Amino acid sequence: MNIPFNSPYCCGTELDYIRQAFDNKQLSGDGLFTKAASGILEEIFNSKRALLTHSCTAALEMCAILLELNEGDEVIMPSFTFVSTANAFISRGALPVFVDIDPLTQNIDIYRIEQAITSRTKAIVVVHYAGVSCNLEHLLSLAQAYQLPIVEDAAQAIYSKYNNKPLGSFGDLATVSFHETKNISCGEGGCLLINNPKYIERAEIIREKGTNRSLYFRGEVDKYTWVDVGSSYLPGEISAAFLCAQLDQGMQITQSRLINWSTYDMAFREMIGIEEIQLMHIPEPSVHNAHMYYFLFPDICKRTNFIQYMKDQSIGCVFHYVPLHSSPAGVKYGKISGSMNNTDRAGNCLVRLPMGPDLDVQKVVDAVQNYSNWL
């Protein structure tokens, strides 16, 4: 494949930082690079605390523990998301309540959330799809009215904003991914962002296998011991070192991606005769991070034909999620609230183009423009 859908990006300083981690003689978690990355992330997201984890899934699992969910509690979320969004809460006995998405942004339809709220609802989870937010003002107002915490699944949203405020800074808790498919990567990695300070101390304990180890190393207790539930959610220093190298160039990486995204968008909006193709929509006052470029075909057959055509041109294009509500586990463990027509459409019709800071974007544009079977 000449242009794969995703190609991990290397800044050039990652190996130098990893060597420094070896020289520091600490490869387990919470060393100098883990702390450095956490500090940078707290600045990026304007977060009260950023705890590095070995995956975004781990950070979501920590959210579920912090919310003290019990068997039968309900958590509202979109169905058009990765399985980790639901799995983290199912593992605590909670019931995911799937709500349809906005057909323009593929984010949860905030105007359908209220009808999904019941006496058992304990949280609302929003996913910032493609680094684009929903109407967060309305969401915050709704959450306040019902006294419900908000969890932001900001896996795709580093450097994205809403009303000039970073995505990941609105909810009580938020999670970020540094998987190799994300804008900033360390292969596998994540972060828990804590915006409500009441969760900070317990989050540190949960992340450290249920021990008060962090308090001990700060001199706040004379020994550390097992005090709560938890697991081993820390990344190693090698991953943190790699991540620091990427974060050092985070703005440059994002700017390069935005240039390629704009090249796509300008080219495709000038194309004639594809009125049935829905291009990406970035609503005001959202500022996105060029995590992906996608469009939607009228039906699954046209999407399948296009993906095969691009494959024949040695260009990797892929669809995205199989909606959780229609998956075997979703049927077994979840609940649907209302119609899921927009979610089903996204699952059948959405296609993603290759995206990255060092992409041969013109080759992709030329192939798309030469495709003769749009309708």
Task: Looking at the structure, tell me whether residues 243 and 274 fall in a common domain.
Answer: no
Task: Looking at the structure, tell me whether residues 219 and 306 fall in a common domain.
Answer: no
Task: Looking at the structure, tell me whether residues 285 and 256 fall in a common domain.
Answer: yes
Residue 289 near residue 160, CB atoms below 8 Å:
yes
Beta-strand runs (E) in 149-188:
150-153, 161-162, 165-166, 173-177
pLDDT number for residue 375? 59
Task: Looking at the structure, tell me whether residues 113 and 226 fall in a common domain.
Answer: yes
Mean pLDDT is lowest, of 75-84, 156-165, 195-204, 207-216, for 207-216
Pick the last residue of a domain from 209, 233, 248.
248
More confident residue, 224 or 98: 98
Task: Looking at the structure, tell me whether residues 134 and 108 fall in a common domain.
Answer: yes
pLDDT number for residue 272? 61
Any domain includes 1 = no
Taking each helix axis from N to C end, the angle separating 83-90 and 56-66, rounded to the nearest 10 degrees, works out to 40
Pick the last residue of a domain from 248, 271, 298.
248
Average confidence score pLDDT of the chain: 96
Any domain includes 330 = no
Task: Looking at the structure, tell me whether residues 82 and 159 fall in a common domain.
Answer: yes
Task: Looking at the structure, tell me whether residues 106 and 127 fall in a common domain.
Answer: yes
Pick the last residue of a domain from 248, 274, 306.
248
Containing structural domain, residue 129: 14-248
Task: Looking at the structure, tell me whether residues 137 and 240 fall in a common domain.
Answer: yes
- Strand 95-99, strand 121-127: pairing: unpaired
Query: Per-residue pLDDT tens for 247-269?
Result: 999 999 999 999 999 999 999 99
pLDDT number for residue 225? 93
Start-to-end C-alpha separation, the chain:
26
- What average pLDDT score do residues 97-104 get? 98
Q: DSSP H helical segments within 24-78, as ranges?
A: 32-45, 56-66
Q: What's the domain count of the chain?
A: 2
Task: Looking at the structure, tell me whether residues 267 and 175 fall in a common domain.
Answer: no
Any domain includes 160 = yes
Assigned token pair, 124 = 């609302």
The domain that holds 207 is classified in CATH as: 3.40.640.10
pLDDT band for position 372 (cuts 50, 70, 90)? confident
